[in-house]
A and B are shown apart, each in its own frame.
Chain A
């Protein structure tokens, strides 16, 4: 493994724009060097933001770090770029299983073509179906042995539960050791009681962090603003650390309605996004449910295409949250 990592690192150093960042990030992940793997994957995605396989690799890294939300976001992104991406479907099936959503997990895993069905997938599917068969007829969630139960169905995976137990990465890793046998721990009922941070309740102190896990760095911010220019969620601190979210929200009041009117006059259909490039940052906006506006900012060095993908990711989170609090 160290030889493989060294060789891939040399390859990447020779050609930083090559796609070798994917097998390298994955090799680092499998070697347990998750922080380095994350950096390599993010840097690669900066250059190649539209590669579904790269999002898949990043998702695996997040999953191994225990961050199922980000992993889920990345797999969803991979599926948006390639709706038939089998590995992303597998990954999301894994996340759904972890969340106790067995029906969805079963649906996803069933869509995996037989050719992609590794022993791990087959075992996972059998496990899910077995659990579904044991489920009470009223459809109540399966109670996990640790007692977290239906009220808290979302639990973090054990650190020892590698994601490739269900979704090996042969398809993206050019040089790789054979996939390990399925680790039983990956698809057994979770034992940890440590809750994954989910969408916060309308607790004002927590809504500021709503988008933190969907953003990729400290130079990125997201705000959800209502139609009157009031902050609903998210945060924005300027260069001096001062919270200027409310000022920005107020300045943006009415943007949605003006964009809508402009498009109506032009007959170009509903507006989908507004992208503003400034000297030091890129600001992207999109209409969100209930007449609200979602705003994402990133540093100027972020590729514009990546900001648009980031906007999609944050919007998915905002939608889920608004459904919960509405």
Chain B
């Protein structure tokens, strides 16, 4: 089994408290390029939806003249989805409510700059 260039990054994110999965997804087609998720997480479905949300946010921000999207955070009652993109690739993390979102945000934005 071949390791992708993102394996180390995803492993690092998944070790954070409250993170149940992370993956790199193509925004264009919603396909997961690589993932590191706990058993039971519907990685492919969530990857596609996260990519779609990121695309909509990017297009809306473009229309509004807000510039390039750097970070996206979808909050729910028991956790949320964080995403940081660069070009076509989006780094996505699924977190429970106990996760340190501030720390994840900083690490994801830093990591997203290295996505190629």
How distant is the Cα of A283 from the Cα of B70 in the complex, in angstroms? 11
Once the chains bind, are A281 and B76 in contact (CB under 8 Å)? no
How distant is the Cα of A254 from the Cα of B77 in the complex, in angstroms? 20
Once the chains bind, are A297 and B73 in contact (CB under 8 Å)? no
Nearest Cβ in chain A — how far from B76, in angstroms?
4
Nearest Cβ in chain A — how far from B51, in angstroms?
10
Does B69 have its Cβ within 8 Å of any Cβ on chain A? yes
Once the chains bind, are A275 and B53 in contact (CB under 8 Å)? no
Please indicate the chain B residues that have their CB under 8 angstroms from the CB of A118 in the complex. Answer: none
Does B61 have its Cβ within 8 Å of any Cβ on chain A? yes
Total interface residues on B, using CB and 8 Å? 35
Q: Given the interface contacts A278-B66, A279-B67, A297-B66, does A268 sit within 8 Å of B60 by beta carbon?
A: no
Once the chains bind, are B67 and A278 in contact (CB under 8 Å)? yes
Once the chains bind, are A275 and B72 in contact (CB under 8 Å)? yes
A-contact 0/1 string along B65-81, CB 8 Å cutoff: 11111111111111111
Residue in contact with B59 in the complex, picked from A251, A261, A267, A269, CB distance below 8 Å: A251
Once the chains bind, are A271 and B74 in contact (CB under 8 Å)? yes
Does B15 have its Cβ within 8 Å of any Cβ on chain A? no
Please indicate the chain A residues that have their CB under 8 angstroms from the CB of B71 in the complex. Answer: 276-277
Residue in contact with B66 in the complex, picked from A267, A268, A283, CB distance below 8 Å: A283
Residues of A within 8 A of B (CB): 236, 238-239, 244, 247-248, 251-252, 254-255, 258-259, 261-263, 265-281, 283, 297
12 further contact pairs, Cβ within 8 A, besides A262-B53, A278-B69, A283-B66:
A236-B64, A238-B65, A259-B53, A261-B49, A262-B46, A267-B78, A273-B75, A274-B73, A275-B73, A276-B61, A279-B66, A280-B65
